[in-house]
Chain A
């Protein structure tokens, strides 16, 4: 965690408790999660009790309190994706990676998340891999995506 980044996030927002959610959004975006140290600094600088900072960080789904994997696979489980078989995608990643949504693989490589709706319902089931949208995803296509991420990373020596 870089203190300068946190400093620039807090700039112009200090002593403004109403900025808490927005500050945490930026922390999440910059660090990929909300580290405890950052919560302590935010608490002090905004003038919000640490317990309240933790409560807010814990309440909203946008915030993760644990570091996430290098590759975040987000599966949309909105109604439209659900009736088109999004649950099969959850079964697929569970079978392939051995983790449930919200968890990260032991090697810290993959995190699987579920989201209630991404608003791309006409193209369901939708899967997002590190910000890139994939439409009409089948378990087979998802398996290939995960395999290709793995093999590319192996080639690049990341695994």
Chain B
């Protein structure tokens, strides 16, 4: 690897890489993201490479293990170019067929094609799949074009051109103006205008400044940042370099969750590669700009997603937030001016610099510009990562892209914004994905998690779930969050246990207001949102628990009992062997019974039963 000393060196290298690749006839891109790795994609990738060698095609066909394509449910998956043929649920034993039939003879293998669960039709190309069709994949589409461990791949798709433009054609003021004009707002949850943050940091006095990439994506149900950092780490690095140039920082940090081992590894490799090419280090591309990046692994504390807690953690301390009366852009890491943005925010920067602010601002709503990546999960047909223009309605996302409910159950709500967000009912599904619109409705875009819930989900239990999460994750520094969340959880547990009283609702609301107004950091300030939003939109579920001691969804254990319908039970014994507590008795081919003394009401028997003989009362 030769060090690049000028912008011309960079362009020459790019042309050389592109020229070398012209002889490649076919590219097989297999997703190598965390989701597909869980589906054993590594075995498939190895088998495909083997099959190519056996057929003497290893030089003319490229196999690319790329980052996340977003359609994790269909993994392991592969896209074959030219032709855009999309194969899913591939097994290692399919490799020989793929090479001999599709690669060598152009024959499409029917059994590996995607079947749309809504229409039941078989679809041949990635572009025709409804899940992808309704999206606007500005950031995510590049995931498929690059191997995250190959800087050459990133250069071949125009990588680091925005950095060269920044260094040699722009001043830091111009860069900040461009980001301001684009209307980019922080993708981590707060939605703070990025350009304003950068300007404040640039103007803050001090020679030593820092940039930080927040990849401590702690929101349960969200994995946008994992996929971007893991799938396209150089894009994030390039964004950080441009930001560092704008504010005048020489050192950057990527703070990434330890629970994302692949993202940690890919970020480390990317930093190493950028250093070897001289894209990180002293006098980058021969300019006056020097900058380096270090990777720090998060310790599994949700509160470290909060900027001041994250900075404390980077300093090697306990991740406790501090008051923000002086902002981190003035006194951040080591009390020096610091710009902290989340992964997706940094990833948008190179595109804005390359294509211009107007290009970015052309998408979205009045105050929420560009696209947003969302993690669409829960009880719907198509789950995965989706990227849509800001302003797209929840309905389009849940039904258009997500394909609607599974198992014929009616969708009840969508939970957005993680533990800081709220649950929005179907009647609000015409709301657009917009920072302000969702906030006004009692939820938030947050980092982009979207968990769809159907009638089998109890909304009181959901509120309890988030309170348990927040109680567990509260750092304990400030009293309102430490004790307030605890008391709210106590009240709501009383309700789900059948001990709730009507006056508890008012008490919950009062506590929620106090916690929101008096907590030190964002974790506490937003902690009441799941309770408040479920109280606002699903009061009838609270009423059923309190007044009738009934859980309409059949979830809250103290309010339900399981029984076996003797007429439906065939005595197959499936439930008997599945029960972890041995609470089911019965002879073969005789109706079985549940011992209520031993039953923990886990519901495993109901899921196992093929004749729906297990009933919930």
Contacts and interface: CB of A to CB of B under 8 A. Distances in A.
Partners in one complex: yes
B342 interface: no
A120 B38 contact: yes
A141 B511 CA distance: 42
B377 A59 contact: no
Given A18-B316, A122-B384, A63 B38 contact: no
B259 A115 contact: yes
Interface residues of B, number: 67
B457 interface: yes
Interface stretch (A83-91, A104-112, A148-156): A83-91
Contacts of B217: 117, 119
A62 interface: yes
B221 A117 contact: yes
Interface string A47-80: 0100010011001111100000000000001111
30 contacts: A17-B316, A21-B313, A22-B296, A22-B297, A52-B317, A59-B475, A60-B299, A60-B319, A61-B301, A79-B220, A80-B375, A80-B378, A83-B457, A87-B602, A95-B579, A115-B300, A116-B218, A117-B220, A119-B222, A119-B259, A119-B260, A120-B34, A120-B38, A120-B223, A121-B375, A121-B377, A126-B38, A134-B38, A140-B604, A143-B578
Contacts of A52: 317
Contacts of A59: 299, 301, 318-319, 475
B451 A79 contact: yes
Nearest to B469: A116
Contact of B300 (A62, A80, A138, A140): A62
Contact of B299 (A62, A96, A123): A62
Contacts, number: 174
Contacts of B384: 122
Contacts of B472: 116
B38 A60 contact: no
Contacts of A140: 578, 604, 608
Contact of A60 (B300, B375, B383, B469): B300
A91 B557 CA distance: 12
B603 interface: yes
Contacts of A117: 217-223, 259
Nearest to A79: B221
A84 B226 CA distance: 21
A143 B580 contact: yes
Contacts of A118: 34, 259
B490 interface: no
Interface string B496-519: 000000000000000000000000
A33 to B, nearest CB: 14
Contacts of A126: 38
Interface in B191-248: 217-223, 226-227
Interface in B572-615: 578-581, 600, 602-604, 607-608
A83 B259 contact: no
Nearest to B262: A119
Across the A-B interface, the 3 shortest Cβ-Cβ residue pairs? A95-B580, A60-B299, A78-B220
B249 interface: no
A80 B301 contact: no
Among A56, A122, A143, the one with the most B-chain Cβ atoms within 10 Å of its Cβ is A122
B328 interface: no
A78 B221 contact: yes
A122 B578 contact: no
B39 A96 contact: no
A19 interface: yes
Contacts of B475: 59
Contacts of A81: 220
B296 to A, nearest CB: 6
A135 interface: yes
Contacts of A91: 580, 600, 602, 604
A81 to B, nearest CB: 8
Interface in A13-60: 17-22, 24-25, 48, 52, 55-56, 59-60
B379 A84 contact: yes
B313 A119 contact: no
A29 B160 CA distance: 34
Contacts of A19: 316
A139 B602 CA distance: 10
Among A63, A81, A123, the one with the most B-chain Cβ atoms within 10 Å of its Cβ is A123
Among B219, B259, B301, the one with the most A-chain Cβ atoms within 10 Å of its Cβ is B259
B300 A119 contact: no
B418 interface: yes
A139 B223 contact: no
Interface string B20-45: 00000000000000110111000000
A77 B473 CA distance: 13
Contacts of A17: 316
B136 interface: no
A18 B251 CA distance: 15
A81 B379 CA distance: 10
Nearest to B230: A119
B424 to A, nearest CB: 14
Nearest to B379: A83
A133 B602 contact: no
A148 B260 CA distance: 27
A124 B377 contact: yes
Given A18-B315, A80-B378, A92 B580 contact: yes
Interface string B299-314: 1111000000000011
A124 B35 CA distance: 10
Contact of B258 (A18, A62, A82, A131): A62
Contacts of B378: 79-80, 83-84
